[in-house]
Amino acid sequence: MSTTGTESRAGKDMFPVERKSASATQIVTQALTGFAQEFKAVEASLKAKLEKQEERLTMLDRKTLTTAHRPVLSGAVAEDAPHKKAFDAYLRSGDDDALRGLALEEKALSTAVAAEGGYLVDPQTSDTVKTVMRNMASLRGVAQVVTVEATSYDVLVDHTEVGTGWASETAALTETDTPQIDRITIPLHELSALPKASQRLLDDSAFDVEGWLAERIASKFARSEAAAFIGGDGIDKPKGILAHTLVDDTAWAWGSIGYVVTGVAGEFNATAPADALVDLVYALGARYRTGASFVMNSKTAGVVRKIKDADGRFLWSDGLSAGEPARLLGYPVLVSEDMPDIAADAAAILFGDFHAGYTVAERPDLRILRDPFSAKPHVLFYATKRVGGDVSDFAAIKALKFGLS
């Protein structure tokens, strides 16, 4: 009995151990399962983040490749920006340190500093001035314009004829005339402008200093040039067409400008006003008429515009498209206000191939000196340009004189 009781107690003691072991196993299993689930979640999260990172890197690579093959649209602006900023600072405050520190390139428009360090050139302003001058009504628009680096420009002209003769089979040949070459020297003169602005105006950052300066200089230069190309006496300025001797075209010789007359002092012939214009056109040699044009001022153009032919048709016709000049007898008309008005014995109309007949020579650089002392509280901007001009082919230009002879 005692043995049985003992076995029974031992059996009772063993079952709780087994139950405890089973419970611990379940806890460990559940813990490992939870850890595995959390690890998978972390792994999935990291994988998602890596995929997003790779996607972003791929997009950046594509963007970089696209930008590398894309043409540079604003490179010129970026290159000019330091120069523009430095020049603007120079105009406003006179600080030229930024200009002196720039790496300057030698181009057609020199941005060099003179030996004294006073003259500073801005390429953008120079280009603006030249563009405005070309757009203004001036003989520059039809004349030959050349750029030189010297103090003068020489034009070689052959205005004589080669002698010829008929030869037979046995007769001796005789010497004929040899053509002579003349040299016309066009000296360059200094053209200047002196606009000014108050220092307060220059300090205003909203004000376009460069645009204002370019407009003022271009206007001054264009007006001065245009007047000199027509009537300049050649003393410290270009020599104009009308400064040369005017002679009747029937007695024309090299070195003078030939003219035809209207037959009435100070006006056109009332009966046949168009005849004088026709005579003027055909007084010019045929080889020059292909590129010829008329030059007159607005008052003269207003008179000529009213002239009609025998059938009542106007001789003057406006351009058919924007920018095309008006035409008179089929030839372009340049309206230059520096031409004289119609008056007794005035040569109020010119006709010719001005590209062959008149040469404008100029140096490419434009210099600007900032002077804040001479006109306080204003700042002066002294701009200079070297330019010259003269008739290079006297046979290529004719004039209409409003007189009897």
pLDDT digits (tens, 9 = 90+) for 48-99: 888 888 888 887 777 666 555 555 444 444 445 566 677 677 666 666 666 6
pLDDT of residue 123: 54
Q: Which of the four pLDDT bands, split at 50, 70 and 90, describes residue 387?
A: very high
pLDDT at 92: 67
Is the pLDDT score of 202 beyond 50?
A: yes
Q: Is the pLDDT of residue 192 over 70?
A: yes
Mean pLDDT across the stretch 325-354?
Answer: 92
Top-confidence range, 8-17, 267-276, 374-383: 267-276
Alpha carbons 385 and 190: distance in angstroms, whole number? 6
Cβ-proximal residues to 93 (8 Å cutoff; 6+ apart), any chain: 202, 203
pLDDT band at 121 (very low <50, low <70, confident <90, very high): very low
CA 53, distance to chain mean position in Å, is 50
Q: Report pLDDT for 317.
A: 87
Bridge partners (DSSP) of residue 380 are 196, 371
What pLDDT is attached to residue 107?
38
* Structure tokens given for 239: 């020599």
Q: With CA atoms as reference, report the closest residue to 308 among 350, 277, 341, 264.
A: 277
pLDDT at position 298 is 92
In this model, does residue 117 exceed pLDDT 50? no
Q: What value does the mean pLDDT take over residues 276-296?
A: 94
DSSP states along 124-157: HHHHHHHHHHHHSSSGGGTSEEEE-SSSEEEEEE
Residue 129, classified by CB atoms within 10 Å of its CB into exposed (0-12), middle (13-18) or buried (19+), is: buried
% of the chain with per-residue pLDDT over 70 = 72
- Kindly state the average pLDDT of the residues 369-374: 83
Say if residue 345's pLDDT is above 80. Answer: yes
Q: How far apart are CA 379 and CA 129, in angstroms?
A: 20
Write down the mean pLDDT value for the chain.
Answer: 78
Q: What is the pLDDT of residue 103?
A: 55
- Tell me, what's the pLDDT at 101? 61
Mean pLDDT value of segment 396-401:
96
Q: Tens of pLDDT along 28-44?
A: 788 788 888 888 888 88
Are the C-beta atoms of 371 and 354 separated by less than 8 Å? no
pLDDT tops 80 at residue 231:
yes
**pLDDT tens digits along 291-338:** 999 999 999 999 999 998 888 888 898 866 666 788 999 899 999 999
Of 49-53, 345-349, 352-356, 394-398, least confident by mean pLDDT is: 49-53
Tell me the average pLDDT across 363-370: 80
At residue 24, the pLDDT reads: 76
- What pLDDT was estimated at residue 119? 38
224-244 exposure pattern, b = at least 16 Cβ within 10 A, e = fewer: bbbbbbbbbebeebbbbbbbb
Mean pLDDT of 380-395: 90
Nearest to 325 by CA among 281, 357, 293: 293
* Higher per-residue confidence, 310 vs 391: 391
